[in-house]
Amino acid sequence: MDRQFWTYLGRRAVQSLIIIAIVIVGSFLLLHLVPGDMVDVLGGQRGDMDAELMAALREKYGLDRPVIVQLLEYVGNVLRGDLGYSYRNSNEVLNLVLQRLPVTILLVVCSVITAVFFGTMAGVFAARHSHRLADVVISMVVLVFYATPIFLTGLGLMIVFSVKLKLLPVGGLMTAGFSGSWLELIADVATHLILPVVSLSLFYIAIYCRLARASMLQVLEQDYIRTAYAKGLSTYNVIIGHALRNALLPVVTMVGLQIAELFGGALLTETIFSLPGVGRLAYDAVFERDYPLILGVLIVCAFIIILVNLIIDILYTLLDPRVEISR
Amino acid sequence: MRPRNYLFALAAALSATLAPVAGLHAEEPVKGGTATFIMSPAPQILTSAMTTAGAEQVVSSKISDSLFTYDFNLNPQPLLAESYDVSEDGKTVTFHLRKGVKWHDGVEFTSEDVAYTTMEVWKVLHGRGRTIFGNVEKVETPDKYTAVFVMSSPAPGMLKSLAAQQAQILPAHIYKGTDPTTNPANLKPIGTGPFKFVSFAPGDNLVLERNPDYWNEGKPYLDRLIFRFIPDPATRAAALESGEAHIAPQNLIPMADLERLQASGDFEVTTKGYEFQNEMEMMEFNLDDPVMKDIRVRKAIAHAIDRNWIVENVLFGYGKPATTPLHQQLVELHDDTDVPQYDYDPEAAKALLDEAGYKPDANGIRLKLIVDPLPYGDHQNHIAAYMREAMREIGVDLEVRAQDFAGFVKRVYTDRDFQFTVNLLTGGSDPTIGTQRTYWTPSFKIGVGFSNGSHYSNPKMDEILVAAAAEMDEAKRKELYHQFQKLAMEDLPVFPLAAVESTTVASTRLKNHTIDANGTYSNFADVYLTPAP
């Protein structure tokens, strides 16, 4: 890692900070444009609210001050690492997000790995047998998965594997009140994650499969592949060592682009399979106008997405030495 | 002044002879086992002493008992209070507390806990506390087992509101001197109830275990009670069918699934246990709107709607067409004799619109209106969609406007920028708790949700409501509420559409889940699970 690399990293860090600042200010202002605040919701839920009590609550939660003052104070708090307090949950926002984040990350990471692995494998296989039966079947199957909404796939799998066969649980992260060793716990969580991960990744397998197939076809026509064969390398060595490594580049780019979308898809999966992830936390918070909590989730997610993209850009330079980080 | 003493034993004996009830079984209870209860939304805290949110009420009532529970006719039954006296003038209510009750941390439950929770939690923080306990001036504690409520004026409605979902008692030794809203015990509750807190995974599950030191010896029967928070309605039905869960209350299972589940023979559906809620689908007309101000227009709209159709098709038969603002389940007060009815009659509706000066134009359109259905569940949206079609028949072009909950509350109760709503209003166990708010002039306050959204004001109505709220004589009270029902339907600031019956779906293996008016809000001390076949 030379000096160029560190300059690059510094520049990217500054860019990322600017993006996060835009996320904070933008979401804060957008949220305050939406009609109705937390006190309206509270007032709707409890029966005997009166104007004075509502004014007092707005004062307590600081909602009575000008938006710009609230914004400045919020930014100041965030800079000190304080994401605020969620009165609805009797807890610190940071605690709430950190409690739920591992679930979403687990779901997203497992789904990405599954989708990339099976998608790429299917794509490579299809490219090797392009325009033959295997290719047509693979393309059709992945297209069906792509065209099926996640909630439908999820419910379908649930009806088959949970209701009819009673093999897998209908949802939750683990058996409620589970007690056992670490290994048993991991096995329990894994059992609970099979259906959600399969439902979420089936949709994305199609994208990686098509991408891998197209880029593989292109790579296989290159001169160096012929050279590799001519050197007498085995088919396996040529495909995996020479072709796939180059064909993977667009796939890696796609992972970076899709990580944000996966967080969105995770919300649906979390809802169907009752997983206590950040998607649901944010969803509920929006309906309750729990501003600190919504903003906390947005900031943490934006941070993760930016971080993942940074890592992917660095990975890129490792996969493809032609990419110069100084540009 | 001789106090009237109320003995529960007699009432209990009477209620025991009532017709058999869903989920109530006389055979020897089975001890042990784990029952799983489906809930949604997920509770955010684990006490209902300071919130009216449904999930908090359902889960915490198992952990902490209240002074009373109520039989199906809403007569109080003893829990932490063994008996009570009301003074002749109704201004002093004395509760005699059960002795030897221990909090889950071993400290004794006393009148101090009752006094603290009433004055510093219910009255200040609970959503309906200021309505229910507003007249309580102080709570005196002459000894550990006596709590005396000193009232500024009588409040017979209060005695109907002392179940755990409205009035859960908190341990003063843990809460006193703290800010109750941020007390850590809200997430690790210590109660007096049949089940003790074990673990809470927010958004996922809550695990409770049997309290071996429960005052009601031998109970509860279950070893463990698990709540699972399942947001997706189809997943809830799947959880029941896969055998992972045993009970889902509060319409959590879509009505379209009920027939299939019942037909399997493994599940039963009951509409009992909601005598407290008395939810009504109602149309609130905005009387500040120039069009809606005209009673002829309101009556025309009422005649254009077939309430039977709504009950049959939107509620799948789980409800009754409303005939007055009071729910039919309020058996003692609901009375529709001589109450004006607005039967489905499009011709009458057209005649009323003609009279009001709204003649059809070239396209047959007399009037353009906008409806705002409450975004809570699907029923209000479905009703609004039906109305759009039904109104077209009388020449009214109806637009259905959509927004989320907070947006709805702000539009209707703060901005007052609406013509009429389709709303779901909770009547409560007594009209003073819910219904009064919809019709009473002082309830109209800008910014206050679900409180006289019509901006209705009739001095005669106010007089009736105030007199009924403080009337101690049952017969006179009934007569006053009859006058209320008549006047409400004459003035028609609100058109009651349907009295909703909520459903509980439970495995036929789960017994005693609905044994009183609190239904699944009760403490589950009597619930047991028979072994799987």
- What the block records as the tokens of B321 is 């067409």
Residue B415 and residue B390 share a domain = yes
Residue A248 belongs to a domain? yes
DSSP string, B37-52: EEESSPPSSS--TT--
- CATH classification of the domain holding A165: 1.10.3720.10
Q: Are residues B53 and B69 in the same domain?
A: yes
Residues B377 and B288 in one domain: yes
Residue B166 pLDDT grade (very low, low, confident, very high; cuts 50, 70, 90): confident
Q: What is the mean pLDDT of residues B153-159?
A: 84
Q: What is the DSSP string of B460-499?
A: HHHHHHHHHHH---HHHHHHHHHHHHHHHHHH-SEEEEEE
Domain final position from A54, A82, A110: A82
Look at residue B375 and tell me if it is in a domain: yes
Global ipTM: 0.79
State which of A22, A56, A82 marks the end of a domain.
A82
Please compute the mean of the pLDDT values over residues A221-232 and round it to a whole number: 86
Q: Shortest CB distance from B231 goes to which of A36, A162, A274?
A: A274
pLDDT at A298 over 60: yes
Q: Assess whether B163 and B292 both reside in one domain.
A: no
Last residue of a domain, one of A82, A109, A125: A82
Question: Are B340 and B375 found together in one domain?
Answer: yes
Instruction: With H, G, I as helix, E, B as strand and everything else as coil, classify residue B226.
Output: strand
CB pairs below 8 Å between A and B: how many?
174
Across the interface, whether the CB atoms of B230 and A274 are under 8 A apart is answered: yes
CB contacts, 8 Å: A48 with chain B: 127-131, 437, 451
Question: pLDDT value at position A255?
Answer: 84
Quote the pLDDT of residue A73: 87
Mean pLDDT of A233-241: 84
Q: Is B18 part of a structural domain of the chain?
A: no
pLDDT in the model for residue B15: 42
User: Is A249 within a domain?
Assistant: yes
Determine the residue type at A107.
L
Same domain, B188 and B318: no
Could you give the number of structural domains in chain B? 2
In a domain, residue A8? The reply is: no
Residue B33 shares a structural domain with residue B164: yes
| Dihedral over alpha carbons A179, A183, A187, A190 (to 10 degrees) | 100
What are the tens digits of pLDDT across the range B379-426?
A: 999 999 999 999 999 999 999 999 888 889 889 988 999 999 999 998
Q: Helix, strand or coil for residue B408?
A: helix
| Domain match, B157 and B292 both | no
pLDDT, one tens digit per residue, over B110-135 is 999 999 999 999 888 876 777 788 88
Is residue B219 included in any domain, yes or no?
Answer: no
Q: With 90 as the cut, is the pLDDT of residue B107 above it?
A: yes
**Residue B175 and residue B201 in one domain:** yes
pLDDT higher than threshold 80 for residue B99: yes
**Within this chain, do residues A288 and A250 fall inside the same structural domain, yes or no?**
yes
Residues B512 and B439 in one domain: no
Residue B521: give the domain boundaries. Answer: 24-212+503-529
Chain B residues within 8 A of A172 when measuring between CB atoms: 204-205, 228
Tell me the CA distances in angstroms from B465 to A198, A319, B131, B160, B521, one per residue in order.
59, 78, 14, 17, 29
Chain-centre distance for alpha carbon B422: 18
CB contacts, 8 Å: A107 with chain B: none
**CATH code: domain of residue B302:** 3.10.105.10
State which amino acid sits at residue B502. Answer: S
Domain shared by A260 and A207, yes or no: yes
Distances in Å between the alpha carbon of B418 and those of A39, B80, B414, B452, B453? 20, 46, 11, 14, 10
Domain check: are B320 and B395 in the same one?
Answer: yes
DSSP string covering A183-235, please?
A: HHHHHHHHHHHHHHHHHHHHHHHHHHHHHHHHHHHHHHTSHHHHHHHHTT--H
Mark yes or no for CB contact B36/A176 under 8 Å: yes
Q: What is the pLDDT of residues B274-300, one digit of tens each?
A: 888 899 999 999 999 999 999 999 999
Predicted confidence at residue B26, as pLDDT, reads: 58
> Could you identify the residue written with the tokens 């000190």?
A80
Residues B436 and B509 in one domain: no
- pLDDT > 80? residue A46: no
Give a yes or no: residue B37 inside a domain.
yes
The pLDDT value given to residue B17: 39
Question: B260 pLDDT exceeds 70?
Answer: yes
Q: What is the CATH number of the domain that holds B88?
A: 3.40.190.10
Summarize the confidence of residues A238-252 as an average pLDDT.
84
CA B86 – CA B486 distance, rounded (Å) = 31
- A209 is a domain residue: yes
A289 has pLDDT over 70: yes
Residue in A closest to B131 by C-alpha? A48
pLDDT, one tens digit per residue, over B14-28 is: 444 344 444 555 578
Q: Which residue among A40, A159, A272 places its CB closest to the CB of B406?
A: A40
Among A70-74, A143-147, B284-288, name the most confident range.
B284-288
Q: Please give the model's pTM, rounded to 2 decimal places.
A: 0.82
Would B168 be classed as within a structural domain? yes
Report the pLDDT value the prediction gives residue A325, as an integer from 0 to 100.
55
Identify the pLDDT of residue B12: 42
Residue A326 falls inside a structural domain: no
Residues A117 and A160 in one domain: yes
Query: Residue A5 falls within a domain, yes or no?
Result: no
Nearest chain B Cα distance for residue A255, angstroms: 29
3-state secondary structure at position A274: coil
For an interface test with A, which of B36, B39, B44, B182 has the most A Cβ atoms less than 10 Å from its Cβ?
Answer: B44
* Whether residue A69 is found in the same domain as residue A117: no
Task: Examine the pLDDT at A203 and tell me if it is beyond 60.
Answer: yes
C-alpha distances (whole Å) from A200 to each of A36, A113, B204, B235 are 33, 11, 19, 16
B341 falls in which pLDDT band (50, 70, 90)?
very high
Task: List the domain range (segments joined by +) for residue A57.
Answer: 13-82
Q: Is residue B4 over pLDDT 90?
A: no
Total domains in chain A come to 2
